Amino acid sequence: MSALALSVLLSFVSAVAYAGGAIVQEQVAVSSPGAQQYAPLRRPGWWAAVALNGLGGLLHVVALAYGPLSLVQPLGALTIVFALPMAALFVGRRAGATAWRGAIMATVGLAGLLSLVGASDAQSLDTAQRVAAALGTAAAVVALMLAARAVHRHPAVRSILLATASGVAFGMSSVFTKTVAVDWTGGVSAADLPSLAVIGVLATAGMMLSQASYRGAGLAAPLATLTVVNPVVAAAVGITMFGESFRYGTTGTALALSCAVVAAGGLILLTTERLAREQQEARTAEAGSAPGTASPVAESVPEAAAADAGAPAADPAARLLAELTLPRDVRMPVPLPSPGAAPDGEDSVPVPLVSYAPYYGGPYVPVAVVDRHRVRVKS
């Protein structure tokens, strides 16, 4: 097998590993409480996701060693394309047509953008540039986290912001990794320890933020955002700080901007698809909890007892009726003589009352029925 074919194969396997890690992360996020949304360390699935992401990163680095950057980086964008069918196959989470269109647009736009980035001579960053990059990354990540906290009532928007913060952290981690790799060509030195620490912090932060981004937002939107933002940030830093540029001059720059617009359109499709699904779920929930059309007067005693036992009432009047305790026997003895002659010493005969029925949440006042016949008094 040639080196080029091996790099392509490793890139495919790396994308599958990343997709599997994302699916496991999303499943862990769904089943974890809110307090563990960033790092559910006690969940075995979390560590499985960490292992899959680590495997994907390792295979990606090996693929870069065997193949050119212009080929390996665009193939990494296939993660979202692999993730959707894998999620439908293994966990039964099917994506709609809008999500598929958005995912394909984001992948094609990202692949075109990365393929237009030209190679340059290996360069490193000086100390001032490293400090500025680390502080700028920390400020951007914290700002995105605060913005996500401010819009916590909208899970889709919150997820996109957290996925963007994760992509920024992972992208800058790649920048510092390239810097350390360039420095190590001339020998290992203690001056690279701060850069290694920054790589560890950014990689850990990116992993935790990506875990939080899957909570309540599905799989497609946060994964596509992370997949696009990560290499775009790395490419932007490479162009501005490493002297890289787009191929084919002005034409290549225009094509790169067009690819960026296509990728952004795909992300917008994924976000709007998730927002539309949230609104549909909210309308369904409201329709399911809407008050019924049954009149409270027609409410029977067994239904009221069921409501008192914990069944949801249809409207406020029915809830008030459910709190009432209605007697089963609506007759009561009254000290009235019976129509006929009653034996001496015998209790009064129970006389039926009018119907004991609810009216606007309260009962009728019972009125005794008096016999119309005159009572003959015997001396």
Q: Quote the CA–CA distance of 17 and 51 in Å, as a whole number.
A: 9
Of 180, 167, 232, 169, nearest to 203 by C-alpha is 169
Q: State the pLDDT at residue 319.
A: 66
What pLDDT is attached to residue 311? 45
pLDDT along the chain (379 residues), means of 10: 80 90 86 66 84 88 71 75 83 78 85 75 77 93 93 86 92 83 70 86 90 79 84 80 77 87 84 72 70 44 43 58 58 53 52 48 52 57
Q: What is the pLDDT of residue 294?
A: 44
Question: Which of 104, 125, 217, 120 is closest to 172 using CA atoms?
Answer: 125
Report the pLDDT value the prediction gives residue 297, as an integer from 0 to 100: 40
Alpha carbon 39 to chain centroid, angstroms: 15
